[in-house]
Structure 1
Amino acid sequence: MRRFPRGRRTATAATVLTLALALATGTQATAAPDASAPAAATVRQYQVDGVATAEQRTALARTGTAIDEIGADSVVITADEADAERLTGLGYDLTALTAPTERGGPGAAAAPADYHTYAETLAAVDAAEAAHPDLVSSQVIGQSYEGRDIVAVKVSADVGVDEDEPEVLFTHNQHAREHLTVEMALYTLTELTSQYGTDPEVTALLDTREVWLIPTVNPDGKVHDQESGSFRSWRKNREPNSGSSAVGTDLNRNWAYEWGCCGGSSGSPGSDTYRGAGPESAPETGVVADFVRGRVVGGEQQITAHIDFHTYGELVLWPYGHTYADTAPGLTADDAAAFEALGTAMADSNGYTPQQSSDLYITDGSINDWLWADQGIFSFTFEMYPTSGAGGGFYPPGSVIDRETSRNREAVLTLLTYADCAYRAAGLEAEYCAA
């Protein structure tokens, strides 16, 4: 059973009933927050058959469709009826799916109250800072479109001192509906603080590293998806788009490296992979990018390694996403070898599948590509539990949170271990790592 801090709210009977009705029809409820607002289109997941290769998946993604899950010769997408009809008209073979928990998986239905709300997340950060003032320090690094604070949490011995140590960044919840990633941030914060001074490995790492956690990059989207009483399957941020009734930008297509270059995002505001009006046009992207740029001290980027947590698929991914090539401008054979070795080492600890991002399909304007190509940071994406919709899809039940966050403990520590020089993972320390 997930343990929540005092004040954790309990789902009401009405909430549970609303969710149950949504699951019974195989959809996520999309009711507007008030009766006067227009009803949102009902969305559900569809299986698209005959999509077996990275090239075929990329072709599907270029229609503006976000791919949720990949099988041997099919994919799963989320779409409303109009999108489903459009794709059928383009020749795709779609089958509407029942709710994830009705597909034979062991998971029970998740409820919004299974996960920390935005306010509860900030409260948990405040509590950690109060309990461990020598280890934890938080700061507001900017605001979302709707004015919510985006908070960065620093964890390190002598946290108040900006020491000349490798820094590691963990980002979470770029995509609104991926609430398990926020739980991952809180798990990491709790584990590092509770184990410092007790666990020799954690202690040594916090004595020689500075860790940054951004628990939610997309607070507006998180609130919208979670706090109406039923999940909405919302992905983007909540900024209106000029000249369109469609709301939101896909933050992980809005970064300022090869933005919109390669068919790996959509120029249509109504798409779940809408790249925005320009690079860093979404305020949330700009806030985090400015924070990263602000960690350049004396001309040197202090952040050396990064994980961006997502759901779902149980994958460890690395750059580049915008090209199928293993090497490309800014990514040498040695760089690629270090990414693969470190990514594989992390995957060996959590059981995920390691691969280059574009092995799935082409994406452009992603955080991984920008952090590496623009800032020289070894940047990975973790797609967390489950592997498929049978485990709950984007909404796995609260009963798995402890298990699935702690599952990444060793991977997080592995990244921290190699943060001084990632090339060591590939045996290239003589060439790249100072003595």
Structure 2
Amino acid sequence: MRIVYLHQYFNTANMAGGTRSFEFARRLVTMGHSVDMITTDRFGERTTSGWVVTEEDGIQVHWTHVPYSNTMTYGDRMRAFGQYSLLAGSRAASVRPEVVFASSTPLTIAFPGAYTARRCRVPMVLEVRDLWPEVPIALGALRTPLERVAARWLERFAYRNAARVVALSPDMKRGVTATGYPAEKVSVIPNACDIELFASAEIAGEQLRMSESWIGQNPLIVYCGTVGLVNGVEYLVHVAVEMLRLNPEVRFLVVGGGRCLSDVKALAAKLGVLDKNMRFMSELPKSDIPAVLGAATLAISTVIDQPVLHANSANKVFDAMAASTPVVINHEGWLADLFRENSAGLVVPARDSALAARNIDALLRDQDRLSKMRDSSFMLASTRFCRDSLARQLEGVLLDALGESESGTKG
């Protein structure tokens, strides 16, 4: 297959941020397919105008400069989405693909995806990473009736033009089918675990502990990811406050950046935990994450207390499992069910940071339970969430869409 892969926020392993598209695309290349990634150079490192093409592990990556960051206002982000949509459609169509794979967020990815599919008379497969527009509506980003009507129209447009849909969690699949989209055309392919990348996590983690006296041999809880509005990392600050009283040896490390980073650090300073039992580190490329998670006793993934966010499939969770590091989450949903059923993680209450701290402290003091959680985490990583297996599942979805399209054309 000649695949055009549309993803506005594509990252290689040497860049900070999620690498789902990179990992899947390079595996599709290994399977014998041609992949052209249409994306943005968000920081102007490769180009400030026009398009630049690089080869990344066999992927032909087309970069154009569209500034974007988590610190932007909602209006600025919408303009960035629109700019990419206008530029990406014609570029993708020029590749003359056999199938289009468009990965959201944002759901505006459907515009260049549908344009390319129609112009080249090929199918589009849409990947849904968030329940949109439910999330921005719940967060108050879409305030006016007109904005909400437009968002619902975009949702219908996206699904109407998709030959298949890939959802990142069972909860997201339910959200997609609730719109009337056929369930048999929705495949659940969650975020995945890169077993090979994290194979040396334990050794790298020990080296990190030896180089950082603040960590030493103390229990370490790590948050790796965006510090944005939906992430609710303030919750972790309040847990750290309670933990300082319960077990002052426990360390909290936040690795990442985002719109709310300065506010979270200010809160940590105000509540007296900054540089005591809590520290912050700038975001790191994916290739450096194994050392951090290898050093961690526990990883944590938080969201603000909004039920619509319970469907999330956060990269940080799967990276931790690949490193055999048990994960703490503060929300319900499919991940909470997964952890409870497999004794692979800890679910703590979203509205009670004191109880969360007590539950975490109890786990840290129970070495037998921790050891079993580590084993269960890696078992899930290597079986249900192995990147190689999920890449083959994605290949199957793309082939099915292409085969159905070709049958329809011949008919």
Same fold (TM > 0.5): no
Q: Give the TM-score normalised by the residue count of structure 2.
A: 0.25
Structure having the larger proportion of residues in helix: 2
Q: Give the TM-score normalised by the residue count of structure 1.
A: 0.24
Highest relative contact order (Cα 8 Å, sep 6+), 1 or 2?
Answer: 1
